[in-house]
Amino acid sequence: MPVPASQIVEWLDRLIEERIRMEAVHSKREELLKRNIGKDLIQSSIEESQKKIARAKTELTSLFERLEQK
């Protein structure tokens, strides 16, 4: 069953959004620490983004493998 192009676009959009979110946390790290936002919270936010990015990449890889088999 073919995957709709809209689903591919959605996965790519999720990847981009999470990457931007993770980079924003990285770039504002010092500012967040000054506001007493704990290092653990910052790190967990970064790790959460990394997991979401990895999950989306896995889904895309699986999708492309299925498309190659057809």
Q: For residue range 36-56, what is the model confidence (pLDDT) as tens digits?
A: 778 788 788 888 888 888 888
Q: In this structure, is residue 47 part of a structural domain?
A: yes
Is residue 42 situated within a structural domain? yes
Residue 51 resides in a domain: yes
Q: Is residue 9 part of a domain?
A: no
pLDDT at 65: 82
Inside any domain, residue 61: yes
Tokens of 3: 């995957």
Q: Is 23 inside a domain boundary?
A: no
CB atoms within 10 A of CB 37: 15
Q: What is the percent of the chain where pLDDT is above 90?
A: 0
Tokens of 42: 């910052």
Does the reported pTM lie above 0.75? Answer: no
Query: Structural domain tally of the chain?
Result: 1
Instruction: Please give the residue range of the domain that contains residue 58.
Output: 37-65
